Amino acid sequence: MKVTIDSDRCVGHGMCNMYASELFHLNDEGHAFVDGPDVPPGLEAVARLGSSACPDRAITRGVTRQ
C-alpha cells in the first residue's frame, strides 16, 4: 500500500497523526507528511484509519504493484 498527502489540501487538522502517528507526522506548521509513500508491512490498517480521519481528504491510498 502507498499513501500520499496533497499538501495543497492539508490544512493541519492533525487527525491523521492522532489516529496513526506511526505513519503520519506533523511539521512545525502542523501539516502532515510521511517518511515515504510505501506503508510498512503490518501497518496497512493504521494507514487506512489515519487517512480516513482526514476531514479535507488530503490523503490518498493506493495499491503497491509488485
* Percentage, residues of the chain above pLDDT 90: 94
Q: Per the confidence metrics, is the pTM higher than 0.85?
A: yes
- Section 37-62 average pLDDT: 96
- Section 32-59 average pLDDT: 96
What average pLDDT does the chain have?
95
CA distances from 59 to 26, 28, 64 (A): 13, 19, 16
Residue 8 contacts by C-beta under 8 Å, 6 or more apart in sequence?
none
Residue 38 has pLDDT above 70, yes or no: yes
Q: How far apart are alpha carbons 52 and 66 in whole angstroms?
A: 25
pLDDT at 63: 83
Q: Which CATH number fits domain 2-62: 3.40.190.10, 2.40.50.140, 3.30.70.20, 3.30.413.10?
A: 3.30.70.20
pLDDT band at 29 (very low <50, low <70, confident <90, very high): very high
Domain map of the chain by residue range? 2-62
Let me know: does 5 contact 58? Beta carbons within 8 Å: yes
